[in-house]
């Protein structure tokens, strides 16, 4: 049954990625993959926030957590497109763009996931988060 919840979430996540990615790529007329970048950064923030929000405050039942986190947000973001975008930039000899894309995706995703967790802590248990032992 859990598989069905994840699958239903997957439908919403993939459609949201398709719509947002296409819309962003249409307004930014460039080879740089702003669509995938935006989707991956936004998803990293949301996953951090929602994972800790449901842990600390909302106490959602497991099927809901699976549908939202594993299903919707997991499918909204994508690693395979990120990899292929990078080799596509490298193939066109856009080395600086490829390197910036990888760096901004990884460090930005890390910072935003952290920010999402921090915001959930700030909102729901009102303590500053620096690490587990503080």
Partner 1 sequence: MKLPLLVAAGGFLGAICRFGLNNFIQARHHKSFPFGTFIINVTGSFLLGLLFACRHLSSEVLFFLGTGFLGAYTTFSTYELEAVELIRRGRTIISLIYLVISVVIGIIFAYIGYSLGNYFY
H or E stretch covering 79: none
Binder of partner 1 out of 23, 104, 106, 123 (CB under 8 A): 106
Which residues does 128 contact at the CB level (< 8 Å), separation at least 6? 118, 121, 122, 134
Of positions 31, 104, 110, 123, contacts partner 1 by CB under 8 A: 110
Count of positions (residues) in the chain:
134
Q: Is 101 in the site for partner 1 (CB under 8 A)?
A: no
Residue 133 has a CB neighbour count (10 Å cut-off) of 4
Task: Kindly identify the residues of this chain, within the stretch 11-50, that bind partner 1 according to CB under 8 A.
Answer: 11-15, 17-18, 40, 43-44, 46-48
Rounded Cα distance between 107 and 15, Å, is 26
* Contact in structure between 105 and 37 (CB atoms under 8 Å): yes
State which of residues 68, 82, 97, 120 lies at the interface with partner 1 (CB under 8 A): 82
Number of residues that bind partner 1 (CB under 8 A): 51
Using CB under 8 A as the criterion, which residues of the chain lie in contact with partner 1 when the complex forms? 2-3, 6-15, 17-18, 40, 43-44, 46-48, 51, 66, 70-71, 73-84, 86-88, 102, 105-106, 109-110, 112-114, 117, 131-133
């Amino acid at each position: 049954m859990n598989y069905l919840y994840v699958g239903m979430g997957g439908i919403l996540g993939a459609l949201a990625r398709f719509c947002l990615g296409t819309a962003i790529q249409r307004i930014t007329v460039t080879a740089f993959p702003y669509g995938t970048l935006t989707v991956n950064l936004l998803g990293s923030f949301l996953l951090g926030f929602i994972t800790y929000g449901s842990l600390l405050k909302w106490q959602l039942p497991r099927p809901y957590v699976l549908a939202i986190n594993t299903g919707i947000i997991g499918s909204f973001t994508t690693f395979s497109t990120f990899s292929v975008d990078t080799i596509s930039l490298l193939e066109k000899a856009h080395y600086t763009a490829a390197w910036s894309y990888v760096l901004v995706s990884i460090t930005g995703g890390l910072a935003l996931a952290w920010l999402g967790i921090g915001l959930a802590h700030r909102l729901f248990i009102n303590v500053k988060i620096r690490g587990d032992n503080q």
